[in-house]
Amino acid sequence: MRPALLDPVFAEASSLPGIGPKVEKLIARVTGVAEGPPLIRDLLFHLPSSAIVRERIESLSELPESGHVIFEGVVEHHEAPRRNSRAPFRAVIGDGTETVELVFFHARSSWIEKILPIGERRLVAGRLDRFDYRAQIAHPDFIGKPDEAGEILAVEPVYPLTEGLAQRTLAKAIRAALEKLPELPEWVTPALLAREKWPGFRDALMALHMPQEGAALVPESPAWRRLAFDELLASQLALLLVRGKARKTAGKARQFTGGQAEKMVSRLGFELTGSQKQAIEAIRTDLRSPERMLRLLQGDVGSGKTLVALSAMADVTEDGGQAALMAPTEVLARQHFATIAPLAATAGLKAELFTGREGGGNAKLAALAAGEIDIAIGTHALFQEAVRFKDLALVVVDEQHRFGVHQRMLLAAKGAAPDLLVMTATPIPRTLVLTYFGDMAVSELREKPAGRRPIETRIASSERLAEVVERIRAAVEKGEKVYWICPLVEESESTDAAAAEERHRELSAIFGEKALLLHGRMKPAEKDAAMAAFRAAAGAVLVATTVIEVGVDVPDASIIVIEHAERFGLAQLHQLRGRVGRGEKASSCLLLYKPPLGETARARLKVMRDTNDGFAIAEADLKLRGEGDLLGTRQSGMPGFSIARPEFHGELLELARAEAKLILAHLEKDGGGAPEAVRALLYLFGRDAAVRLMRSG
Ligand code: ADP
Ligand code: MG
């Protein structure tokens, strides 16, 4: 149950004065509320993006050149525009030392004569500018009698808006919302509060919405950090509660020497990298422990994740267990099978492929159920009903971002709490790993295998297509293999395929048989044939849609051309580029864009040109997207978060996780329900589903 003391905060925003149905809708939009009416809570969490700081001027002779000012003066005269003139109304106000022109466009004279009567003393606040050396304020923020000074904020918060919503309306609503905010019990432990010098929750919100100085309104301020921490703490508590449930189904302690894996590795023509070895050892420790393994293996494209997975799969087979490797596409599943099956065979292990094409009902399924197959490699076909294992010990999921949590769960349900290894090449910044995967252990492959050369990336306009084709022709003649990625027209396989077919036709006129085609609409056998031809060719162009984005490994491909690069996400471009630079050849990537190129798009392509480091790219992407703040959208770069921002508060995540563990340990020890403070926290940040997982919500 929601603690009663939160009731005022969970009242609808429309219960505040001045919020009718129209404003309510705008508030829902600006605060990002998708379902149901916006609440007072949502207003409270809508933080200002900056503040206006007003300088109090005692004598007009000391007026600054420009800036926000407050001053008093006597209205000296009016200059009304001539009839039908577009000129503004001017009122001149002064204090004997200097004068300021107050300028009003489209204003009625009668109104100005009323608020600025000649000869009267008035208090004015607004943004001062100079025009022909004259001090001017266009449309002052405030005009009142000298005794109304209390109504002007020396520091006024400025809120992100949405079309149709006025700053004044939103500010007033938020002011009213603040008055409903009660003092809440503290959920942060006193030691942490003292160490970080954080204000309480209520004081923190007050400090941001009613700043005393402009400098306080930055994500690094103690108040903002405190609230970001609260939000992260709520999400970590929720994740731990969910995971706690998953872990209660204990895993099995596997026994093995690692000999099988070593046998396979010794057949490779190369040494494992240091980080591959480290990851393999970390996984071994997990497999041997009775706790269920939940590990994320993160490694930039080409860092050699497949071998780490293979080693783990070989390990569990020593103990009679089976392993499953799930890939997001059939092309990739086949490629894994082609790499793994021969290596596995050298250690006497049997690997088999399970894709939609093989289907159920054949001898393979029987062999799998009987435990005669050690390693099952496949697509989502692996979690069809008919697929049964004898003892599924390890599930490896490759390229995690293509699968949802749901699919992972389905596969994991096929064994008795099998250990789980999730591999991702989409570099998820450290700061986000915890938010998405909770307390999953993380292994990182930061090193690239020896001998790799950086990929040289260039950017060019698609108007130079003919030139590009000419250069590619020369390269193919020399025996180079080229990927040619076609524009992503829409989020639709068929239109993408059409674009690729079109380009393939054109390139076929130049390259003949050496122009190959690969897209998602082709029959599986045709895809295989195209990939096989590309692998075997001495010089070829593979025209493809993004089906090759994930994991395709043709080590001697050395050039990649990406059309309409401006339409791809940075992570996706990085994935695509990672298809080359896998061998020892010098490789290049050509990003073609269709002009005109916007500022953000240009910045994004520059990032690609300037670095090959997937982690740096992911961080840059986050920043660029964070700053590309569209009117009316949330500024937060983290989905599901309204206050915490990964680029500023990332380091608080570890702290939040530790604190969440501490809190849960306390709850366990006391054996009771969660104290009111913790429940309040979870409700405030919309993590209340987790409350039900606590013993007495
Ligand atoms: P990814 O991490 O992108 O999945 P892969 O596992 O496909 O990378 O490996 C990329 C390529 O690097 C493969 O051709 C693989 O055989 C090779 N490779 C993996 N580890 C090493 C290593 N330690 N030294 C040299 N080459 C390696
Ligand atoms: Mg891979």
Is any atom of ligand 1 closer than 6 Å to the C-beta of 270?
yes
Ligand 2 centroid – CA 426 distance (Å): 10
**In terms of domains, do 338 and 428 share one?**
yes
Instruction: Please indicate, yes or no, if residue 660 is contained in any of the structural domains.
Output: no
| pTM: predicted TM-score of the whole model, two decimal places | 0.57
The reported pLDDT for the residue numbered 547 is: 63
Give the pLDDT score at 150: 80
- Residues 169, 310 share a domain: no
Q: Which of 611, 634, 649 is the last residue of a domain?
A: 611
Task: Please check whether residue 89 lies inside any domain of the structure.
Answer: yes
In a domain, 308, yes or no: yes
Residues 342 and 489 both lie in one domain: no
Tokens of 267: 């057949």
Q: Is the CB of 449 under 6 A from ligand 1?
A: yes
Residue 25 lies in a domain: yes
Q: Is residue 132 part of a domain?
A: yes
pLDDT at 405: 44
Q: Is the previous residue joined to 17 through a cis bond, with omega within 30 degrees of 0?
A: no
Residue 483 and residue 563 in one domain: yes
Residues 61 and 45 both lie in one domain: no
What's the whole-number average pLDDT of the chain?
85
What stretches in the chain show pLDDT beneath 50? 402-407, 490-491, 626-637, 695-697
- CA of residue 308 to ligand 1 center, whole Å: 10
Nearest CA to ligand 1 atom 14: 555
pLDDT digits (tens, 9 = 90+) for 68-86: 999 999 999 999 888 777 8
State the Cα–Cα distance between residues 328 and 308, nearest whole angstrom.
Answer: 18
Whether residue 484 is found in the same domain as residue 539: yes
Q: Is the CB of 124 within 6 Å of ligand 1?
A: no
Number of domains making up the chain: 4
Q: Are residues 63 and 175 in the same domain?
A: no
Q: Cα–Cα distance between 260 and 315 in angstroms, integer?
A: 7
Ligand 1 neighbourhood includes 581 CB (under 6 angstroms): no
Any domain includes 573: yes
Tell me the Ramachandran region of residue 255: left when phi exceeds 0, alpha when psi lies from -120 to 50, beta otherwise. beta
**Ligand 1 mean position, distance from CA 539 (Å):** 22
Indicate the residue among 589, 611, 633 that finishes a domain. Answer: 611
CB 614 less than 6 A from any atom of ligand 1: no
Q: What CATH number is given to the structural domain containing 486? A: 3.40.50.300
Residue for token pair 């009731």? 7
Measured in Å, residue 302 CA sits from the centre of ligand 1 at: 5
Residues 423 and 570 grouped into a single domain: no
Same domain assignment for residues 487 and 567? yes
Q: How far is the CA of 454 from the centre of ligand 1 (A)?
A: 15
pLDDT at residue 579, rounded to an integer: 87
Please say whether the beta carbons of 364 and 388 come within 8 A: no
Give the tens place of pLDDT for each residue, 15-33: 999 899 999 999 998 887 7
Q: How many CA atoms lie within 13 A of 491 on its CB side?
A: 0
CATH number, residue 129: 2.40.50.140
pLDDT of residue 257: 96
Scanning the structure block, which residue is given the tokens 């929720």? 238
Q: Is there a domain that residue 520 lies in?
A: yes
403 and 307, same structural domain? yes
Q: Quick one: angle between helices 570-577 and 599-610, nearest 10? A: 30
The confidence score (pLDDT) of residue 357 equals 63
Of 559, 590, 611, the residue at which a domain comes to its end is: 611
Paired strand residues for 377: 325, 353
185 and 116 within one domain: no
Please give the C-alpha separations between residue 258 and each of 276, 322, 399, 629, in angstroms, as whole numbers. 15, 15, 25, 51
Same domain, residue pair 186 and 104: no
Nearest-atom index, ligand 1, CA of 273 = 23
> Which residues constitute the domain of residue 167?
4-51+159-217
Q: How confident is the model at residue 222, as a pLDDT?
A: 94
Evaluate whether residue 461 is within a structural domain: yes
